[in-house]
Amino acid sequence: MIIDAHYHLDPRIQPIDNLISKMDRYGIDKTVLITSMCDPFAHPREYMLGLLRFLLLHRPLRGLSKKLLTRFTPQGDICLPSGTLKIYPDPDNAPVARALTEYPDRFLGWIFVNPKGKNDPVKEMERWAEHPGFIGIKAHPFWHRYAPGQLLPVAQKAAEQGMPLLIHPGFGDHGDFLPLADELPELKLILAHAAFPCYKDTWELIRNRPNICVDLSADAYVDETVTRCVVAELGAERCIFGSDGPFGAVDTDGFFDNGFIKRRLEALFRERRAAERIMGGNICEWIS
């Protein structure tokens, strides 16, 4: 079972029929959907992404990347080099629910919550948790601008139900997930994008915390070097395949290349057991 555990459903960028076609083409059995939290935006050029990863991976230079990535308007929109990007304070989970209903054999879903939005996170979770196909909670402390500890009420519910929590950490207080992990040591916590933005510093923090793992999604944040290093640091059993589509590599038809990161993982990890764990075994265990 090959499962892409991190994909943002946005038909404005990749129509759902194209997504399913690419899943068939590249041998992806299921995709775990996240509803869109922002307007569509152009994928940055690779030389810019390479520079960003270099700055992030070198602690003395990380402050420069923070300055580039943490410019927000008073309304909560993010200012990128390409322009201001609209951020949705209350991402709508209904489109994902519809996709789960229409294609139950192909899709699973994350319930998106934001403790700084208008929707109460616990009520939002309770609204969708019984819908077939939703497997856990997704939160974005980085772009929604809050400390992960503010997720405690909904994380408690998730822990009680055995549902994992997938978060995209940010810088400083917006990346401090340890109070949440300490309060709920039984919580299944997944750090997106190989634990962006602190990478190795975070891997060292979580090495002896088996209930915390990472996904390997986003070619913007995670290249071959980062992928190889995090798997070596945490082990294949603590790493999960995800694409971060439809943002990233473009396929020959002009839409997202859903097989890009899968091909990278297949090339890097030829030992069968490791590949099976990363490509689907780990997420299956975490949602069982």
How many structural domains is the chain composed of?
A: 1
Q: What is the pLDDT along the chain (288 residues), one digit of tens a residue?
A: 999 999 999 999 999 999 999 999 999 999 999 999 999 987 777 777 877 888 888 888 888 888 888 999 999 999 987 789 999 999 999 999 999 999 999 999 999 999 999 999 999 999 999 999 999 999 999 999 999 999 999 999 999 999 999 999 999 999 999 999 999 999 999 999 999 999 999 999 999 999 999 999 999 899 999 999 999 999 999 999 999 999 999 999 999 999 999 999 999 998 989 999 999 999 999 998
Residue 52 within any structural domain of the chain: no
Q: Taking the complete model, does pTM exceed 0.85, yes or no?
A: yes
**CB neighbour list of residue 233: distance below 8 Å, 6 or more residues apart:** 200, 203, 204, 207
Residue 182 within any structural domain of the chain: yes
Residue by residue, what is the 3-state secondary structure of 116-175?
CCCCCHHHHHHHHCCCCCEEEEEECHHHHCCCHHHHHHHHHHHHHHCCCEEECCCCHHHH
Strands (E), 22-88: 30-35, 78-80, 83-85
Residue 127 within any structural domain of the chain: yes
Q: Which residues constitute the domain of residue 17? A: 3-44+89-287
Residue 242 within any structural domain of the chain: yes
| CATH code where residue 36 lies | 3.20.20.140
Residue 106 within any structural domain of the chain: yes
